[in-house]
């Protein structure tokens, strides 16, 4: 609950003015999917494409954030909820700064993703379901996490001992078991182009 003595301070430069200068409509690209589905890879690839177009972008990665902002959180259901709540608030600040922010988090629960979505204007939250079969994620298992989860070394692991609730109506679905990274990026860029989020083209 917010203290009644805390008052929101309006900035001298508006979000709309920052967007006009950056040449893009800021938003959050909320990548969700199982561990190993390719969320971070896609988020960083689309961020590189934005950089190539001279547009302001940033990636909030699950592991990176847990090294700092959320270092005090574990992987219980309660801590997962708080993890996503904090990321939602940080993402909102990035959007206000005129940045297209990509978040790469499992964010396994629909209700938590819905609560984050409600913190944004309708057009500012773009849910991207990085779809990939569990067996394919396990085959990749770059970090060896699924093996440890199967052995019982890692408790509360999404997809093994903790549930993942896929989006029912995401703005974008990318099946990384079928599409390449380049094809996934193209699909996202086409969405952003078609819905007027980006206008500044890459320098030749």
- Residues tagged active-site: 107
Residue 25 among known ligand-binding residues: no
Residue 159 among known ligand-binding residues: no
Residue 199 among known ligand-binding residues: no
Residue 36 among known ligand-binding residues: yes
Per-residue DSSP letters for the chain?
---TT--PPPPSS-HHHHHHHHTB---EEEEE--TTSSHHHHHHHHHHHHHHTT--EEEEEHHHHHTTTTTT--SSHHHHHHHHHHHHHHHHHHHHTT-EEEEE-----HHHHHHHHTTS-GGGEEEEEEE--HHHHHHH-TTSHHHHHHHTSSSS-BTTTB-----SS-SEEEETTTS-HHHHHHHHHHHHHHTTSB-PPPP-
Residue 184 among known ligand-binding residues: no
Residue 39 among known ligand-binding residues: yes
Which residue positions form the known binding site for ATP?
A: 33-40
Which residue positions form the known binding site?
A: 33-40
């Amino acid at each position: 609950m917010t203290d009644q003595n805390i008052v929101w301070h309006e900035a001298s430069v508006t979000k709309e003015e920052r967007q006009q200068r950056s040449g893009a409509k800021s938003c959050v690209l909320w990548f969700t999917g199982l561990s190993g589905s390719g969320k971070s890879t896609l988020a960083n690839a689309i961020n590189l494409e934005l950089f190539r177009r001279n547009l302001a972008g940033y990636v909030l990665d699950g592991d990176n954030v847990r090294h700092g902002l959320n270092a005090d959180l574990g992987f219980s259901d309660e801590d997962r909820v708080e993890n996503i709540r904090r990321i939602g608030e940080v993402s909102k600040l990035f959007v206000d700064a005129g940045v297209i922010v990509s978040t790469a988090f499992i964010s396994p629960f629909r209700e938590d993703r819905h609560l984050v979505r409600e913190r944004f204007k309708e057009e500012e939250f773009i849910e991207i379901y990085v779809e990939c079969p569990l067996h394919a994620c396990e085959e990749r298992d770059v970090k060896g996490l699924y093996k440890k989860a199967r052995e019982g070394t890692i408790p509360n692991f999404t997809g093994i001992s903790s549930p993942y609730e896929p989006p029912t109506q995401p703005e974008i679905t990318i099946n990384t078991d079928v599409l390449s990274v380049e094809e996934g990026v193209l699909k996202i860029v086409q969405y952003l182009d078609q819905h007027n989020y980006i206008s500044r083209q890459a320098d030749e």
